A = this chain, B = another copy of it.
Amino acid sequence: MTLSVLLADDHAMLRSGMRAIFDTQDDLRCVAEVADGRAAVAEVARLRPDVAVLDIRMPKLDGLGATEMILADPANRTKVLLLTTYDTDEYVYRALKAGASGFLLKSLPPEELISAVRVAARGDALIDPSVTQRLIARFAVSLAPPPTPPELALLTTREREVLLLVAAACSNAEIAARLHVGDETVKTHVSRVLSKLGLRDRVHAVAYAHINGLVQNRR
């Protein structure tokens, strides 16, 4: 089965170079060449190629904007490969957020561009190794648990329990019911928590707990 490819780059030279690369493969067919992002979006909508290879820097609409427009269409089946000379982090994040199937540097060897097109066509994705490195670092910190503030160690286990319930916006009476103790007891615990953590209100306690990641809200 032959794969149709659209090329978008504002340099005619580069387009013909890539076209020449694809022409060496008889299962890849370059069905369109465009010089700007708006044309890319239009041609993708018209021709519905298997893969669109977009330069990031393009007139009228850049590759990122074009990617977003193309992939925003739920009926779209075209995979997008982004090509760039410089790999700014912001580019990468925007590209991946938009759902691009690849983020490659123009320094890529021709054979690998070909393989990238095939990878994208079968639904997988591919990121340049130099970018992957930083992506992993970023991903790691996003997975890392937020640092627990040291003053939390001052709290007893019971006080931490109470803090969590306060953070869940429970009133003293609700906390008392939940812990099967009297509400006077809860008041004592809450007071201790506030003074130990240097917080004025239970309101501050709620904010504190959320900011310090004591509450699992994020996916």
Residues of A within 8 A of B (CB): 93, 96-97, 99-101, 119, 123-127, 129-130, 132-133, 135-137, 139-144, 167-169, 171, 201-204, 206-207, 210-211, 215, 217-219
8 closest A-B pairs by CB = A124-B129, A210-B210, A125-B133, A125-B132, A169-B207, A206-B206, A119-B129, A169-B204
Does the CB pair A142–B142 fall under 8 Å? yes
Docked complex Cα distance between A211 and B144 (Å): 19
Contacts of A144 in B (CB 8 A): 97
Most buried by B among A132, A211, A217: A132
Closest-CB distance, A188 to chain B (whole angstroms): 19
A168–B130 Cα distance when bound, in Å, is 40
Q: Are A211 and B217 in contact (CB under 8 A)?
A: yes
A interface, by DSSP: helix, strand, loop or mixed? Answer: helix
A190 CB to closest chain B CB, in angstroms? 12
Q: Which residues of B contact A217 (CB under 8 A)?
A: 210-211
Give how many copies assemble into the complex: 2
CB pair A141 B207 closer than 8 Å: no
Tell me the smallest distance from the CB of A160 to a CB of chain B, in Å.
17
**What residues of chain B lie closer than 8 Å to A100, measured between beta carbons?**
136
Cβ contacts A to B, 28 pairs, < 8 Å: A97-B139, A97-B143, A97-B144, A99-B140, A124-B129, A124-B130, A124-B133, A125-B129, A125-B132, A125-B135, A126-B129, A126-B132, A127-B127, A132-B132, A135-B139, A139-B139, A167-B207, A168-B207, A169-B201, A169-B203, A169-B204, A169-B207, A206-B206, A206-B207, A210-B210, A210-B215, A211-B217, A218-B218
Q: In the complex, what residues of B have CB within 8 A of residue A202's CB?
A: 203
Which residues of chain B are near A135, meaning CB under 8 Å?
A: 125, 139
Give the distance in Å from the alpha carbon of A211 to the alpha carbon of B169 in the complex. 12
The residue of chain B having its C-beta at the shortest distance from the C-beta of A199 within the complex is B169
A70 to chain B minimum Cβ distance, whole angstroms, is 15
